[in-house]
Amino acid sequence: MDTCSRCRAEMARTDAVGLNPVTTNLCPRCVDYFELQEVADICQYLENLPAPILVVDGDGVVRGANTQACKAVSKDLPHILNLHGGDVFECAYAQLPGGCGRTVHCSGCTIRRAILDTLSTGTPLSGISVEVLQNVKGKDRKVTFQISTQRLANCVLLQIEGGL
């Protein structure tokens, strides 16, 4: 048996709508609950989860983050909220004209593809390796980490695994 990570109800493993069994395991009732709630409620719930998680909408804009996610990207919440994912991750391409999601490089972005896939199909993805070319204060560097995605309400929960 699994336990819902929000209401603690026990449920059969097959009922779980999971991002990553270690992190989130929502029962169908709680998934319905979040469909009706604001992002603020989702963020409050994320605080109790043992992993860095960002809330990203269909435009690739970050709508929320838990404290662990803020630490993972070394930014405080006001410097994350309402920015595009590429700006939060300091992607070098996000600094080009057009910005995150609108440059010629963006169609190949693994993070963007995973978010859009999960949003359109509802299928969670787990342990996807990504490589981001960052530009921090004029210096390029490549970072690799892993992401998992799960749709919740009209957003995607983006879990970051491994160092940025």
What are the residues binding Zn ion (CB under 5 A)? 4, 6-7, 9, 27, 30
Q: Which is nearer to Zn ion, 30 or 54 (CB)?
A: 30
As measured in angstroms, the least distance from the Cβ of 11 to Zn ion is 8
Question: Looking at beta carbons only, is 26 or 111 nearer to Zn ion?
Answer: 26
User: Judged by CB, which is closer to Zn ion: 28, or 58?
Assistant: 28
Query: Closest approach of Cβ 13 to Zn ion, in Å?
Result: 14
What does the DSSP assignment read for the chain?
-EE-TTT--EE-GGG-EEEETTTEEE-HHHHHHHHTS-HHHHHHHHTTSSS-EEEE-TTSBEEEE-HHHHHHTT--GGGTTTSBHHHHTTBSGGGSTT-TTSSTTGGG-HHHHHHHHHHHH---EEEEEEEEEEEETTEEEEEEEEEEEEEETTEEEEEEES--
Least gap, CB of 15 to Zn ion (angstroms): 10
27 vs 72, beta carbon nearer Zn ion:
27
Q: What's the min distance (Å) between Cβ of 3 and Zn ion? A: 9
